[in-house]
Amino acid sequence: GAGVSQSPSNKVTEKGKDVELRCDPISGHTALYWYRQSLGQGLEFLIYFQGNSAPDKSGLPSDRFSAERTGGSVSTLTIQRTQQEDSAVYLCASSRLTSLRGNEQFFGPGTRLTVL
């Protein structure tokens, strides 16, 4: 079956512009996560969705970052007034809902964002 997909694969933007990154999770996965990976670094958690609600937004670095999920499926991460330090690969992951707190997360290919 289809895995997690993300678009665009690459995005180059100018400082101060807004960008939207899209994630299509695996069908039937109710949990969706956004992470950020800077060059040569580990993955940094941004936000978690369960269905359309976001019970954990603790990783969003500033109020310039927001995300939404509609229909329990596609999610969009929006970065307003982009800064050079926002340059990174933005990864989306999805997982099934289970009774356990932790369960396997499947990652998308990421969107490489470059802010000039």
Partner 1 sequence: GENVEQHPSTLSVQEGDSAVIKCTYSDSASNYFPWYKQELGKRPQLIIDIRSNVGEKKDQRIAVTLNKTAKHFSLHITETQPEDSAVYFCAASPRRALTFGSGTRLQVQP
User: What gap in Å lies between CA 40 and CA 101, rounded to an integer?
Assistant: 28
Do the Cβ atoms of 27 and 20 come closer than 8 Å?
A: no
Task: Pick one of 23, 67, 91, 113: the residue that binds partner 1 (CB under 8 A).
Answer: 91
Q: Kindly tell me which of 8 and 16 has the beta carbon lying closer to partner 1.
A: 8
Amino acid code (one letter) for 82: T
Q: Kindly tell me which of 25 and 108 has the beta carbon lying closer to partner 1.
A: 108
Amino acid code (one letter) for 74: V
38-77 mask for partner 1 (x: CB under 8 A)?
---xxxxx--x-x----xx-xx------------------
Q: Kindly tell me which of 20 and 44 has the beta carbon lying closer to partner 1.
A: 44
Do the Cβ atoms of 26 and 2 come closer than 8 Å?
A: yes
Supply the minimum distance, in Å, between the C-beta of residue 64 and partner 1.
20
Q: Which stretch binds partner 1 (CB under 8 A): 15-23, 62-70, 73-81, 96-104?
A: 96-104
Rg (CA), the chain: 14
Do the Cβ atoms of 70 and 98 come closer than 8 Å?
A: no
- The contacts of residue 12 (CB under 8 Å, 6+ apart) are 114, 116
Q: Residues in the site for partner 1, rule: CB under 8 A?
A: 31, 33, 35, 41-45, 48, 50, 55-56, 58-59, 91, 95, 100-110
